[in-house]
Amino acid sequence: MATETSSITQTQTDASAAERRYIICMKWGDKYGAEYVNRLYNMVSRHLTVDFQMICLTDDQVGIDPAVHCYPIPEMNLPSDLPERGWKKLTTFQSNLYDLKGVALFLDIDIVIVDNIDGFFTYEAEHDDSVVIIRDWKKPWRMIGNSSVYRFKIGMHTYPDLLTNFERNFDTIHQQVRHEQAYLSNYLREHHHLEYWDKTWCVSFKYQCIAPIPFNLIQAPKLPTGAKIVIFHGEINPPDAIAGGGGKWYRHVKPSPWLKPYWQ
């Protein structure tokens, strides 16, 4: 009877662990300060109605809100002189990442959340081992995901070889893809399953909010209908978008004051 009770208790514990929800982000180097992590935590708190725990993998936790659980970014067995291509994100797929177990939603720290994001957890994937990700906007036919927002099972040994395969075959992989999201997408399509969010949920500020050249010079960026998260990639980050500006004159961006209430 004691053995049976112990087994039931363990099953209940495992079920409880599988239902835990995490928001995971990463901060390394000096490009973004702690305020980016804190703003992300604030945005998630305002727009997620279910319980969650926020995790930040970082090389410097100074200034980060104590409500955010900080851990060191796991080491990777890669050459030290590589250009930045987001490879560190792949460490979120460690089979045992600080004993975290459940469902994790990874968010880049330079996104802006503009609406309720419960759906990113309640979305029912077709396969138990699916990673759900943004479908890349620029060349969607390549079926490459944009890893600014992706959901996966954490600490469940669901993707046991994803990271080890990458480290073991990095020299070859490095010649085939430019960044981590291409490797991630290719590997998942071959060994597991890759699914994509509703195309209206995650929008690119660069491709979907800013008017095409030359209309960007006279039209202010707009928020597309149905958007929940605005993704920033390239030269412009949220503060730049709010204030307006840009690099080359023909890529000038007019101010987007509508972002300011969200970006806090």
Task: Quote the pLDDT of residue 84.
Answer: 66
Q: What is the CA radius of gyration of the chain?
A: 19
Pair 167, 146 in one domain = yes
Task: Quote the pLDDT of residue 3.
Answer: 44
Pair 138, 213 in one domain = no
- CATH (domain of 67): 3.90.550.10
The SS3 assignment for 106 reads strand
Pair 75, 173 in one domain = yes
Domain end position, chosen among 196, 222, 245: 196
Q: In this predicted model, what pLDDT tens digit does every residue of 81-110 receive, in sequence order?
A: 776 668 999 999 998 999 999 999 999 999
115 and 150 Cβ atoms separated by less than 8 Å: no
| Any domain includes 154 | yes
Pair 152, 254 in one domain = no
Pair 75, 132 in one domain = yes
Task: Quote the pLDDT of residue 83.
Answer: 65
Q: Percent of the chain having pLDDT more than 90? A: 77
Q: Which two tokens stand for residue 74?
A: 């796991």
DSSP 245: B
Q: In Å, how far from its chain's centre is CA 261?
A: 22
| Any domain includes 264 | no
Q: Which two tokens stand for residue 193?
A: 């399953």
The range of the structural domain enclosing residue 215 comes to: 202-259
Give the containing element (helix H, strand E) for 254: none
Pair 157, 56 in one domain = yes
Pair 188, 229 in one domain = no
Domain end position, chosen among 196, 219, 247: 196
d(C-alpha 216, C-alpha 63), whole Å = 36
Number of domains in the chain: 2
Pair 117, 208 in one domain = no
Task: Quote the pLDDT of residue 264.
Answer: 94
Task: Quote the pLDDT of residue 255.
Answer: 96
Give the containing element (helix H, strand E) for 114: none
| Any domain includes 51 | yes
Pair 45, 157 in one domain = yes
Q: In this predicted model, what pLDDT tens digit does every residue of 141-165 receive, in sequence order?
A: 788 999 999 999 999 889 999 999 9
Q: In this predicted model, what pLDDT tens digit does every residue of 191-233 receive, in sequence order?
A: 999 999 999 999 999 999 999 999 999 999 999 999 999 999 8
Task: Quote the pLDDT of residue 19.
Answer: 80
> How much is the pTM?
0.91
Pair 111, 229 in one domain = no
Pair 212, 178 in one domain = no
Domain end position, chosen among 196, 218, 250: 196
Cis peptide bond upstream of 214, omega within 30: yes
